[in-house]
Amino acid sequence: MALKKIYNLLYRHHGPQHWWPGDSPFEVMVGAVLTQNTAWINVERAITNLVEHDALSAEVIVKTHPKRLAAWLKPSGYFNVKAKRLKNFCHWYLQHGEYQGLNQWSTDTLRAGLLSVNGIGPETADDILLYAFARPVFVIDAYTRRLFSRLALINGDEGYEELRALFEQGLAREAAPVELFNEYHALIVIHAKHHCRSKPVCEGCCLNRTCVVPEQG
């Protein structure tokens, strides 16, 4: 089944998702760092703490004592690690001219820069590129691996870059790739949460005709 056909089925089933939640590109970036290994609701609580302390800015985060920042980020889990990663990111962000400066970089250069920041991996970098900078990169996550493995379109053990290239090349002829990649990733996430769980919920799944996982009773 073609990638676009799967997208169409998911879109008709779930509707538009309007991702990524955030009032500014910087808030999206912070959310991308904090969402590692936690549910989004926990990230929202941590961001609310930052907002309530007038700390949702790179300058304030850099100047805040690590223990105080970690306390604000506690709802997101691994808060000491995430405080360090967020500080690392904000130092880099300020050093390179914040959004206005970084937005002048090519996508490849910006991606390489993000990956140079300690604690920023490929998925987080691509979240930032797609949802904060509106660059045409496809985000690969565990949900994507699970769903497309069950559709027998991938093995599931491919490297991150191999899968990213597969999706970007497979959708290269489609119009408006930023909007398409944005919506596609969001639809994969919502579908995985409702149906393509570790123990799949096949009833009502719009993709079950092509899925290789035995239907669950």
- For the segment 158-164, the average pLDDT, to the nearest whole number, is 97
Per-residue pLDDT of 15-51, as tens digits, reads: 999 998 888 999 999 999 999 999 999 999 999 999 9
Q: How far apart are the first and last CA of the chain?
A: 25
Per-residue pLDDT of 92-124, as tens digits, reads: 999 999 999 999 999 999 999 999 999 999 999
At residue 159, the 3 state secondary structure works out as coil
Q: What integer pLDDT is reported at residue 79 of this predicted model?
A: 97
Q: Output the CA–CA distances (angstroms, integers) from residue 116 to 27, 28, 32, 40, 165, in the order listed.
A: 20, 19, 16, 25, 20
Closest CA to 40 of 21, 61, 14, 17: 21
Q: Output the CA–CA distances (angstroms, integers) from residue 155 to 85, 95, 166, in the order listed.
A: 32, 40, 12
Q: By the 8 A CB rule, do 13 and 209 touch?
A: no
- For the segment 148-166, the average pLDDT, to the nearest whole number, is 95
Which CATH number describes the domain made up of 25-131? 1.10.340.30
At residue 133, what is the residue type? Answer: F
Q: By the 8 A CB rule, do 129 and 137 touch?
A: yes
* Region for residue 17 given its phi and psi (left: phi exceeds 0; alpha: psi -120 to 50; beta: otherwise): alpha
- For the segment 59-80, the average pLDDT, to the nearest whole number, is 98
What are the residues whose beta carbons fall under 8 Å from the beta carbon of 60, sequence distance 6 or more?
54
Say if residue 201's pLDDT is above 80: yes
1 falls in which pLDDT band (50, 70, 90)? Answer: low
Q: What integer pLDDT is reported at residue 149 of this predicted model?
A: 95
Closest CA to 142 of 193, 179, 80, 92: 193
pLDDT cut 70: percent of the chain above it: 98
Q: The pTM is what?
A: 0.94
Say if residue 214's pLDDT is above 80: no
For the chain, give every domain's residue range. Answer: 3-17+139-194, 25-131
Q: By the 8 A CB rule, do 122 and 158 touch?
A: no
Distance CA 49, CA 63 (A): 16
Q: What CA dihedral angle connects 150, 35, 194 and 8, to 10 degrees? A: -70
CA angle in degrees (0–180, nearest 5) for 201-186-181: 130
Q: And the tokens for 207? A: 């993709």
Phi, psi (deg, nearest 5) at residue 133: -105, 0
Q: And the tokens for 24? A: 């500014």
